[in-house]
Structure 1
Amino acid sequence: MSDESELIYKLDDNPSNKESFFAAIQHVLASFIGVITPTLIIGGVLGLGDEIPYLISMALMVSGVGTIIQAKRPMGIGAGMICVQGTSFAFLSSVLAAGFIAKANGGGPDEILALIFGVCVLGAFVEIFVSQFVDKLKRVITPVVTGTVITIIGISLIKVGFTDLAGGQWLLTNKPELFASFDNLFLGALVMISIIAAHKYGNQWIRLSSIIIGMIVGMIAAMMMGKVNFSAITHVESVISLPIPFKYGFSFDIAAFIPIALIYLITAIETSGDITANCMVSKQPIAGKSYIKRIKQGILGDGVNSLIAGVFNTFPNTTFSQNNGVIQLTGIASRFIGVWIGAILIIMGLFPHIGALFRAVPNSVLGGATIIMFATVAIAGVKILTHVELNRKNMLTLAVSFGMGLGVLLVPEVVNTISVNIGGDLGAIVKSIFGSPITASGLSVILLTLFLGDYPEQYNPIIQDFPIDEEISKGIKN
């Protein structure tokens, strides 16, 4: 593109098949790792083992179906734009907490996944409901609330990434003498250095693919060091993965549901920011009735896609932001590209060997990439908070909320002891709500925002709450 502010193909243009395919491939490359990484992390931490390839297949297929729904907007569901779908890192802590609840009750992989998908299916209705009132929630969902929760999410996930970098949770539990070995730390550091180098010396396409590049470099080094478990690939029995509704069953636990429901609320607002950025780079209105309608339908699409995800054995879906950068770089905003992206993801999901290949990636390689990705989530939250006026009310709200969230994260024994003293189902509920740093800080910041203060009426949280990728901001300035 000679002028980044111009579009080669506008929202309703339909490029040729050749142009559509190559544009779609670029979107898939930008989002592929983001689509499968949450499944890899959840599967590894919860010890889901042989189920991981199937779960990755379902993540790809449902991501593809959700992306097509967002692009085609059937029955008014979806934003009618290129909104690539995948599991947000915001859900990881709450999903892992639900899995640990099932595991603590003696459940195996089937019971763990039945509980996770059960609460995720029901939680999707929270986002579906919120989608119809998102423009009326600005008194509750302010930059203080979203910034605090997203920052705490990122901070709490860094522990997961750093544990993987040193070898993974299984190694820490079963073979602690090998945890944080030189080999593991070398591989994790190599991935991180490769990602940094791609950002410093690469062009825009290399920067967009930096996570993939880093993991490929780490994987090659791991193969040379004999650290890749090829049996994970060769032992896959089925050639095709077929979606089976509720393959692992369906169960529910209120203690697991509450944190998930809170994250659905937060991601609904996050999606509105991503769609707003998409509107900007796609030259669509960011004010007025048509804009609000698009936001509502986009969040509704996220909710419906998350419902489909839970039914077909994968984790909640939300709109990815990195694909807005691809639109800006290519100058192709055509929503028909979304159909091509979805079709490619569905085809990839049909083959479980793709999931098995990523299961063979050593934890330290994955950790080298995810620690950067998780820290970026925290920084995004901090960036939101830079829009906040640090007056007396906001400072008190932030202090209490961060104090509660970080306190629970650093000293979990406090909540554990309280829940034991209470005992019974009530004790379990208290532990689930206040034992998660996300819900502890999230509920604190929401209640204090309602009790202490209001945000200026002229502030539009849908447009201004969320940071925009660097590549996108350049086009907006132009």
Structure 2
Amino acid sequence: MADLDDGSAATPPPPVGMGDPPPLTARLRHKLTTRDGWLGNYNYAALCTPRLPCFSVGVAAPFFSINQSLPLVVGALVGLQHALAMVGGITALPLILSGGGDNHLNLDAEMRAYMVSAALITSGLLSIIQIKRIRLGFRGLQLGSGLISLSGPSFTFLPIAEAAIAAMRADGTTCPPPLPSGFPAPCPAAFGRYIGTVAVCSLLEMAISFLPSRVMRKIVPPIVSGVTVFLIGVSLVGTGLKYWGGGSGPCFGFRTTGAGPPIFAECPSTLVPQTSLPWGDSQWLGLGFSVFGAILFIEVFGSPFLRSAQILVALLFGFAIAAATGFVGTGPITSAPVFTFLWVERFPLGFYAPSVIPLLIAFVVTSIESVGDITASCDASRVETSGPEYDSRIQGGILADGLNSLLAVLMTGNPNTTFSQNNAVISITRCANRVAGYWACFWLLLGGILGKVGGVFVSIPDAVVGGMTTFLFANVAVSGIRILGRLPWTRRDRFIISSALAIGLGVSLVPNWFSFVFTYSGPSAATRAIIEAVEITVGTGYCIGALIAIVLNLLLPMEVEDLVAPDEPDAAVKSIDMDDSGEDVAVGPDVPAESSSST
């Protein structure tokens, strides 16, 4: 295998004469011993200057292409921005999944800190695969997009993980019984079975990368991906709001339904017991709003640097307020190791058959999301957005996504996908250089290896995490709306979307609607597994919504209005005689989407 893009400087240092060192040595010497090599002519002031409403922005910084020579300070600074833009999304998923509740793992502080550190480390390591772009040596296939397409845990899989964990707790064979207090017991084995299943299902995304793009657009066009991404965001916003109110564990259920032991009349904190408050208390809501309000303030007044890192900065602001008001315990920080790495903690790998169908759907969805993210990266990086080179980047990016998900779960993490917020960083900093991407990987690795960083994130109260994740999850829903907004909205489009949302959105609002259809309690493990698979699929809003949209899109015939753009009614008759243009118009190009991933 050979590196496709060697990353050599497109603008080399001044030419060397006879007897000078080889070109590589000359470039290194130029980079390390000159002001241009360290600083260049980058507009640092514009990067860090706050903006005022109603005032114009300053002069833009020069644009750095993907292989152009990049000053060291610029690479480190822009790479830090990429890392900071990702940290909130990377840490949110392991924090939620390892937290309390019947559909979460309820792990102790040390294990939760490890999961956060492992997420940062895997993102740093696996992003290198996407940036590097390796030629596989047959049929022109590539591995990686060759752009700053950084990888992180995908929120697309969170509803499936929650449903699978809840089902494994209910069947009584994977997780221990509840604690004497009534609180769900820690269940690392459930996570082991889940990631073992993910490892098998990730092969589907790798297989998808070899399909022609035309086939993918036919099976999962924007009308399907838009509905699916919207439903993912809707289901996740509810989780964010539960955390914002004090937590998604039994205290939420007790407060809203009165079910459970009286101990859950308040959201108990094992970190700071004296700050236990009922779910929805104004103090919890105020802590969450400190983060949400900071996000809004930074967006209005922040410099380009702050706006790139606004999620993390706002989270740390809310954390500071929580610490000042006595809502933060130091136990997770003091118990976390100074340094850590992968496999310091382990989960027993297994297989959970009922989650296979939902996971396969999720990998199809993330494949489509990756097409949109990589297309947006190509556009922001000023490289081809059509043609063979573009198709090669899409193929390599999807293949890397599937491989990264496999490697991530084997590294005790969650399935990965490309993050979309890095495209905004490219646009803001005007730097698409891959060296900045490698710097981002360095910062993520450093944050993960420093074990105390994971302890800090675990010590953040749930309400503060909720203020951040509610905004992140709403961004996922908005991405789905953005995709759907590009459709012509013909009668056929409206029918498909309405049908998919009728069930998908309804399931998101009433998650137990299908839980009582099957009441089998016999001895057959295979029958129980099939029933659980159906319940998880039908009970996960975006899974059933995606299936309905795919089936209807393939079955419903095209009409004349589907074959032409809405602003060209006179072209209706002509379009009927075109061989393939009608299908292309109806299916449309993949729309760049901001995923789970992504944020």
**Which letter does structure 1 place at the counterpart of 2:76?**
F
Deviates more, 1:285-294 or 1:105-114: 105-114
User: Which of residues 107, 116, 122 is equivalent to 1:48?
Assistant: 107
Structure 1 residue aligned with 2:332:
232
Q: Residues 462 and 274 (structure 1 numbering): CA distance in 2 closer, same or farther, change over 3 Å?
A: farther
**Which letter does structure 2 place at the counterpart of 1:67?**
S
Cα distance in structure 1, aligned partners of 2:197 and 2:420: 25
Deviates more, 1:415-424 or 1:402-411: 415-424
- Structure showing greater radius of gyration is 2
Correspondence 1:427 to 2:553? no
Cα distance in structure 2, aligned partners of 1:296 and 1:282: 18
Cα distance in structure 1, aligned partners of 2:518 and 2:247: 29
Cα displacement string for residues 129-159 of structure 1 (whole angstroms, at most 9, x for unaligned residues) = 1111150211111111011111111111111
Structure 2 residue aligned with 1:472:
none
Structure 2 residue aligned with 1:403:
502
Cα displacement string for residues 419-461 of structure 1 (whole angstroms, at most 9, x for unaligned residues) = 3269733322221111111211111111111111457433497
Query: Contact (CA 8 Å) 2:333, 2:455: kept in 1 or not?
Result: yes
C-alpha displacement at 1:261, in angstroms? 1.6
**Which letter does structure 1 place at the counterpart of 2:200?**
L
Deviates more, 1:410-419 or 1:157-166: 410-419
User: Which of residues 36, 53, 59 is equivalent to 2:91?
Assistant: 36
Query: Contact (CA 8 Å) 1:64, 1:342: kept in 2 or not?
Result: yes
Cα displacement string for residues 265-290 of structure 1 (whole angstroms, at most 9, x for unaligned residues) = 11111111111111112111111111
Cα distance in structure 1, aligned partners of 2:223 and 2:589: 15
C-alpha displacement at 1:191, in angstroms? 1.5
**Which letter does structure 2 place at the counterpart of 1:168?**
G
Cα displacement string for residues 166-191 of structure 1 (whole angstroms, at most 9, x for unaligned residues) = 00023325523411112101111222
Q: Residues 186 and 3 (structure 1 numbering): CA distance in 2 closer, same or farther, change over 3 Å?
A: closer
Secondary structure, aligned partner of 1:86:
strand
Correspondence 1:163 to 2:289? no
Query: Contact (CA 8 Å) 1:228, 1:361: kept in 2 or not?
Result: yes
Q: Residues 276 and 357 (structure 1 numbering): CA distance in 2 closer, same or farther, change over 3 Å?
A: same
Structure 1 residue aligned with 2:6:
none
C-alpha displacement at 1:260, in angstroms? 1.7
Q: Residues 202 and 448 (structure 1 numbering): CA distance in 2 closer, same or farther, change over 3 Å?
A: same
Structure 2 residue aligned with 1:110:
188
**Which letter does structure 2 place at the counterpart of 1:212?**
L
Cα distance in structure 1, aligned partners of 2:551 and 2:584: 22
Structure 1 residue aligned with 2:444:
345
Cα distance in structure 1, aligned partners of 2:430 and 2:511: 48
Cα distance in structure 1, aligned partners of 2:472 and 2:265: 26
Structure 2 residue aligned with 1:267:
366
Deviates more, 1:131-140 or 1:309-318: 131-140
Q: Residues 369 and 245 (structure 1 numbering): CA distance in 2 closer, same or farther, change over 3 Å?
A: closer
Superposition map of 1:427-466 within 5 A: 427-453=531-557, 456-459=582-585, 463-466=589-592
Cα distance in structure 2, aligned partners of 1:326 and 1:463: 24
Cα displacement string for residues 29-79 of structure 1 (whole angstroms, at most 9, x for unaligned residues) = 111111111111111241123311111111111101111111112343101
Cα distance in structure 2, aligned partners of 1:296 and 1:196: 37
Structure 1 residue aligned with 2:127:
67
Superposition map of 1:88-127 within 5 A: 88-106=154-172, 107=175, 108-127=186-205
Cα displacement string for residues 221-253 of structure 1 (whole angstroms, at most 9, x for unaligned residues) = 1112110121111122x4332322992121112
User: Which of residues 501, 514, 522 is equivalent to 1:415?
Assistant: 514
Cα distance in structure 1, aligned partners of 2:192 and 2:584: 45
Give the structure-2-normalised TM-score: 0.74
**Which letter does structure 2 place at the counterpart of 1:49?**
D
Q: Residues 367 and 461 (structure 1 numbering): CA distance in 2 closer, same or farther, change over 3 Å?
A: farther
Query: Contact (CA 8 Å) 1:9, 1:333: kept in 2 or not?
Result: yes
Structure 2 residue aligned with 1:474:
none
Cα distance in structure 2, aligned partners of 1:347 and 1:467: 29
C-alpha displacement at 1:18, in angstroms? 2.8
Structure 2 stretches lacking a partner, 5+ long = 1-42, 44-57, 137-141, 176-185, 254-262, 267-277, 522-526, 563-581
Cα distance in structure 2, aligned partners of 1:101 and 1:270: 28
Give the alignment's Cα RMSD to 1 decimal: 2.2
**Which letter does structure 1 place at the counterpart of 2:224?**
V
Structure 1 residue aligned with 2:71:
16
C-alpha displacement at 1:104, in angstroms? 2.4
User: Which of residues 80, 85, 94 is equivalent to 2:151?
Assistant: 85
Cα distance in structure 1, aligned partners of 2:405 and 2:329: 32
Q: Residues 20 and 433 (structure 1 numbering): CA distance in 2 closer, same or farther, change over 3 Å?
A: same
Cα distance in structure 2, aligned partners of 1:463 and 1:72: 26
Q: Residues 466 and 18 (structure 1 numbering): CA distance in 2 closer, same or farther, change over 3 Å?
A: closer
Query: Contact (CA 8 Å) 2:120, 2:445: kept in 1 or not?
Result: yes
Greater percentage in helix: 1
Correspondence 1:302 to 2:391? no
Deviates more, 1:385-394 or 1:291-300: 385-394
User: Which of residues 127, 146, 157 is equivalent to 2:225?
Assistant: 146
**Which letter does structure 2 place at the counterpart of 1:115?**
R
Structure 1 residue aligned with 2:469:
370
Structure 1 residue aligned with 2:275:
none
Q: Residues 85 and 467 (structure 1 numbering): CA distance in 2 closer, same or farther, change over 3 Å?
A: closer
Cα distance in structure 1, aligned partners of 2:410 and 2:389: 31
Q: Residues 280 and 404 (structure 1 numbering): CA distance in 2 closer, same or farther, change over 3 Å?
A: same
Correspondence 1:195 to 2:295? yes
Structure 2 residue aligned with 1:176:
265
Deviates more, 1:259-268 or 1:107-116: 107-116
C-alpha displacement at 1:28, in angstroms? 0.9
In percent, how many aligned pairs have the same letter? 29
Query: Contact (CA 8 Å) 2:353, 2:529: kept in 1 or not?
Result: no
